[in-house]
Amino acid sequence: MSQPRQTPSLGRLPEADLGPSPARPGSTAIRARARGERIGRVPARRRSGVPRSIRILCAVAGALTALPLVFLLVRAYQAGWGVMWRLDTGARALELLGNTVRLSVATTCLCAIVGVGTAWCVERARLPCRRLFGLLLALPVAVPDFVEGYGWVSLFPSVHGFLGAVLVMTLALYPLVYLPVAASLRNIDPLLAEISHSLGFGPVRTFLRVTLPGIRTGLLGGCLLVTLALLAEYGAFEIVRFQTFTTAIFTEFTLGFDTPGACAESLLLVALGLLVLALERRAAGRGRVVRSGPGARRRLGARQLGWAALPVIALLVALLCLALGVPFAALLYWLLQGNSSTLPRGSILGAAAHTAEYSAAAAALATALAVPLAILSIRYRSAGGRLLERMAYLPQALPGVVIGLALVFFAINYARPLYQTSFLLIVAYSIMFLPLALVGARAAVSQAPPGVEEAARSLGTPPLLVFLKVTLPLLAPGLAAAFALVFLTASTELTATLLLHPTGVETLSTQFWAYTSEVSYGAAAPYAALIVAISAVPGALIARRLDGRPWSNRA
């Protein structure tokens, strides 16, 4: 019996069979595959040596992010580890731990439900003014948490305690889930849902078995941001009079002078933040759903809701009234009511100028530190790079008061001229919001083709010129989004600003807090309105970046 004819695989073809002409289309790629090389990858010998400038900048970023933890460990050592253990297991610490955990769980679950539900309505349902709803649902990201709390408490004084905190924080933070989930819904391969429907699965089962796994990464990432924001929030909880670790730490550090107790609670908060990061990483690493092919992107047709359309529209309108209507109505009411206060009047224009100046400088510094960390973690794989990247996310789980006091401690002991300077406040902002800049920088670096840089280097271009003329233009869109995100959060930061702002210099946040603390809501309203106005521009840029569609296609 004759043997079947075997066709040799492409990888075993001799070099002569590939054709000698380098002009043949695709011949270079075919030869490379025949030799076992990988196309589009930086050669290992080029990736092995990390440039000295990247090592130095990454070391600076790592030292800055480790500063708060070193401060806590030093203060805990000075107080005694036995004292720390007794304070961490005391009734006060356990009460604060219970408050923080139950608030984080309740608010994160509600934000997940609201974020997924609103994203599905905008991306999958056929609703009138669907794109307008999509824009309005993202706007609360530009309203600071303490302004949201100010709006509710100033109009409805009964909003306080646990339920008040859950209400205010859910309305303020649900866009952190809505935006990434909406982006994930647009990237799900529609073929998967079509196959599910063809197998006889209904909408609910298709959502649970196809859609939910597809949006899991965005959902978990949004929930992580919500939880970390809850762990570090101070202003909104102080306004609604609900005690968490952050409010207790701020009070004990600044008013009670109970350094051991504040350090013990801060270490518990750090442990809680690390636990949240570990749980999110474990949940996100259980697999993912990808597109079935790189072909033209298709979108599922919007579903007709039928009789459910009116209730869905009513719910979306009610959500927007609660999240945007209440704080804006409160601002308008108090602006018209008057601004009487026993405190001396400050210059609102001067406070706005200082806010913009400090936020822009911090955003530039944080973005500049995030770029080498992103390049190190993506282009050069090493255990040290992964460690530095993990350390960069640590400040996200710390309240601003801890970072501010860490900088005060090291400035007084080792760099006295920096104490009570604007530079120290800018550094504090950069440490706090470096994780946000790193997220944008990583996305930009991962999308930039390294082959272009290698081609520029092969032509003899110096590395610095390659970065300025080739790499930086490729990274510019992602870095602009990272800059906007850091600017947005820095312009609304409160606790570190209260500790570190130079004497005689006020920002919008500190002036707003001074008037709110004495219940002068009318005097605080102009500062809150200006904070929202300044935050609206970067907030719109972030929403547009996460949306991923050109404005001309949003009708």
Please provide the DSSP assignment of 191-225 as one string: HHHHHHHHTT--HHHHIIIIIHHHTHHHHHHHHHH
d(CA 50, CA 383): 13
Q: What is the pLDDT of residue 295?
A: 44
- pLDDT tens track for 161-178: 999 999 999 999 998 889
Helices 216-232 + 175-187 axis angle, to 10: 170
Residue pair 367/355 in contact by the 8 Å Cβ criterion: no
Q: What average pLDDT does the segment 408-419 reach?
A: 87
Residue pair 133/127 in contact by the 8 Å Cβ criterion: yes
Q: Is pLDDT above 80 for 82?
A: no
d(CA 537, CA 441): 20
pLDDT-derived band at 189 (thresholds 50, 70, 90) equals: low
Residue pair 370/482 in contact by the 8 Å Cβ criterion: yes
Q: What average pLDDT does the segment 47-71 reach?
A: 81
Residues of the chain with CATH 1.10.3720.10: 71-289+307-325, 338-555
d(CA 48, CA 51): 10
Q: Is pLDDT above 80 for 45?
A: no
pLDDT-derived band at 306 (thresholds 50, 70, 90) equals: low
pLDDT-derived band at 101 (thresholds 50, 70, 90) equals: very high
Q: Is pLDDT above 90 for 285?
A: no
Q: What average pLDDT does the segment 343-348 reach?
A: 67
Instruction: Please tell us whether the domain made up of 71-289+307-325 is placed in CATH 3.40.50.1820.
Output: no
Q: Is pLDDT above 70 for 489?
A: yes
Q: Give the closest residue to 225 by CA, choosing from 373, 104, 404, 62.
A: 104
Q: Is pLDDT above 70 for 548?
A: no
* Of residues 524 and 108, more confidently modeled: 108
Q: Give the closest residue to 59 by CA, choosing from 423, 440, 464, 369.
A: 369
Q: What average pLDDT does the segment 197-225 reach?
A: 75
Q: How many CB atoms lie within 10 A of CB 278?
A: 10
Q: Is the pTM above the cut of 0.85?
A: no
**Average pLDDT value over all residues in the chain:** 77
Q: What average pLDDT does the segment 248-265 reach?
A: 75
Token pair of 289 as six digits: 């759903």
d(CA 131, CA 122): 7
Main-chain dihedrals φ then ψ at residue 328, nearest 5 degrees:
-70, -40
The percentage of the chain sitting over the pLDDT mark of 70, rounded to a whole number, equals: 76
Q: Is 511 exposed, middle or buried (0-12, 13-18, 19+ CB in 10 A)?
A: buried
- pLDDT tens track for 349-393: 888 889 999 999 999 999 999 888 888 877 777 777 777 777 787
pLDDT-derived band at 325 (thresholds 50, 70, 90) equals: very high
Q: Is pLDDT above 60 for 274?
A: yes
Residues forming a β-bridge with 142: none
Helices 175-187 + 91-124 axis angle, to 10: 40
Q: What average pLDDT does the segment 476-504 reach?
A: 84
The percentage of the chain sitting over the pLDDT mark of 90, rounded to a whole number, equals: 14
What residue ranges in 315-441 does DSSP mark as E strands? none
Per CATH, the homologous superfamily of domain 338-555 is MetI-like (1.10.3720.10)
Q: What DSSP character marks residue 304?
A: P
Round to the nearest angstrom and report the end-to-end CA distance of the chain: 67
Residue ranges of the alpha helices (H) in 125-160? 130-138, 145-155
d(CA 186, CA 548): 9
Residues forming a β-bridge with 125: 303
